[in-house]
Homo-oligomer: A and B are copies of this chain.
Amino acid sequence: MSHFPDLPEYTGFNTPLRAELDITDCEVEGEIPSDIDGAFYRANPDPKFPPLLGKDLYFNGDGVITQFRFKDGKVDLKQRYVRTDKFRAEAAAGRALFGAYRNPFFDDPTVAGLSRGTANTNVLLHAGRMFAYKEDSHPVEIDPITLETKGNHDYGGRIKSVSFTAHAKIDPVSGDMIGFGYDAKGIATPDVAYYVIGPDGEVKHETWFQVPYSNLMHDFGVTQDYVIFLVVPVCSSLERARQGAPTFGWDASKDVFVGIMPRYGSGADLRWFRGPNCFCSHVMNAFNQGTRVYIDVPMSKSNMFPFFPDVTGKPFDREAAAGRMTRWSFDLSKPDEGWEKRQLGNMVGEFPKIDERYATLPYRHGYLCVVDPTLPFSANGGSISGLRVNKIGHVDHATGREDSYWVGEKSSLQEPCFVPRSKTSAEGDGYILVLANRYEESRSDVLLLDAQRLSEGPLAVIRLPIRLRSGLHGNWYDGDQIEAAGNR
Contact = CB atoms under 8 A, between A and B. Distances in A.
Contacts of A49: 25
Contacts of A15: 465
Contacts of A26: 1, 18
A425 interface: no
Interface in A295-328: none
Interface string A440-463: 011100000000000000000001
Contact size class for A? 20 to 34
A74 B91 CA distance: 12
Nearest to A442: B442
Contacts of A29: 2-3
A98 to B, nearest CB: 16
A74 B442 contact: no
Q: Name, among A18, A94, A463, the residue most crowded by chain B CB atoms within 10 Å (CB to CB).
A: A18
Contacts of A1: 25-28, 74
A23 B20 contact: yes
B18 A27 contact: yes
A470 to B, nearest CB: 14
Nearest to A20: B22
A4 interface: yes
A343 interface: no
Given A1-B74, A3-B463, A25 B442 contact: no
A425 B18 CA distance: 35
A346 interface: no
B18 A3 contact: no
Nearest to A22: B20
A271 interface: no
A343 B403 CA distance: 70
Interface string A13-34: 0011111111111111100000
A17 B465 contact: yes
A467 B441 CA distance: 11
A467 B442 CA distance: 10
Interface string A234-262: 00000000000000000000000000000
A442 B463 CA distance: 16
A17 B20 CA distance: 14
Contacts of A441: 442
Given A2-B28, A26-B1, A465 B16 contact: yes
A440 to B, nearest CB: 9
A53 interface: no
A16 B23 CA distance: 11
Interface in A24-81: 24-29, 48-49, 74
Interface string A86-116: 0000010010000000000000000000000
A23 B18 contact: yes
A466 B467 contact: yes
Interface string A359-386: 0000000000000000000000000000
Nearest to A73: B1
Contacts of A20: 21-23
B91 A19 contact: no
| 6 nearest A-B residue pairs (beta carbon) | A442-B442, A20-B22, A1-B25, A3-B27, A19-B23, A17-B465
